Amino acid sequence: NAGVTQTPKFQVLKTGQSMTLQCAQDMNHEYMSWYRQDPGMGLRLIHYSVGAGITDQGEVPNGYNVSRSTTEDFPLRLLSAAPSQTSVYFCASSYSGRGPRTEAFFGQGTRLTVV
Amino acid sequence: AQSVTQPDIHITVSEGASLELRCNYSYGATPYLFWYVQSPGQGLQLLLKYFSGDTLVQGIKGFEAEFKRSQSSFNLRKPSVHWSDAAEYFCAVSPYNNNDMRFGAGTRLTVKP
């Protein structure tokens, strides 16, 4: 199993450019989410999805869009990149039920620099 | 407000010494509790989790954590640290009724030879 796959691993953007961070999982998980990691702040939830066609905002959604057309894929779009979006981005997926199987699986991250 | 606090930003221990990393949370009801580890340049790996039952939870790599409801704490422990344990450790909390997960700021562990 590949688990959660994120692409690209590294990206440099100029201010105002747009791009899409890709995330795919092969575990048939209903729940997927995007986090950004900044020094001293842990991981903060950007957007999440509880299933295909359903998305919602997390703690820090401004400047980001998401969609969920399939169970497997959950891309994150930056419409007009800003230096404040320089961060490491993690995608995660999990079984949507609650109980012993509750656990988030993380991708390896995308390091984004906006200049 | 719901929050997760890891009071120690950076801890240094000698190899072979014991370790305790602190985590406190503020939630209305007992949430699900997790500890994750992140090695440099890597993603997050689950060490252990608590959702109900025995308050002492065993995890991978010799780690354990104890849930204390009265203190709203979920501290991570290891009796003897190895050099390979140097990493950043995150406590995370998920409400019992949904999948949202909130993370503490992390504790960076340095292991001295």
Instruction: List, in order, residues 6 or more apart from A71 with CB less than 8 Å away.
Output: A28, A29, A30, A51, A52
On the question of pLDDT at B98 being above 80, the answer is no
Contact between chains at A106 and B43 (C-beta distance less than 8 A): yes
Taking only the tens place, the pLDDT of each residue in B16-28 is 999 999 999 988 7
Contact between chains at A109 and B99 (C-beta distance less than 8 A): no
Query: What pLDDT shows up at residue A36?
Result: 97
* Whether the Cβ atoms of residue B91 and residue B27 lie closer than 8 Å to each other: no
Query: What pLDDT shows up at residue A98?
Result: 73
Kindly report the backbone phi and psi dihedral angles of residue A11, in degrees, each rounded to the nearest multiple of 5, phi listed first. -155, 135
Q: Which stretches of A1-115 are DSSP H helices?
A: none
Taking only the tens place, the pLDDT of each residue in B27-70 is 877 789 999 999 988 889 999 999 888 899 999 999 999 999 99
**Which carries the bigger pLDDT value, residue B86 or residue B51?**
B86
What gap in Å lies between CA B88 and CA A13, rounded to an integer?
27
Which residues on A lie below 8 Å from B36 (Cβ)?
A: 106
Please tell me the distance in Å from A97's CA to the nearest CA on chain B.
8
Place of tokens 């575990």: A27
E-strand ranges in A8-95 read 10-13, 19-25, 31-37, 43-51, 54-57, 64-66, 76-78, 87-94
Query: What pLDDT shows up at residue B50?
Result: 92
Q: Does B40 touch chain A (CB under 8 A)?
A: no
Query: What pLDDT shows up at residue B31?
Result: 86
- Report chain A (115 residues): mean pLDDT per 10 consecutive residues: 91 97 96 93 92 93 96 97 97 82 88 97
Which residues on A lie below 8 Å from B90 (Cβ)?
A: 42-43
Contact between chains at B101 and A90 (C-beta distance less than 8 A): no
Query: What pLDDT shows up at residue A82?
Result: 97
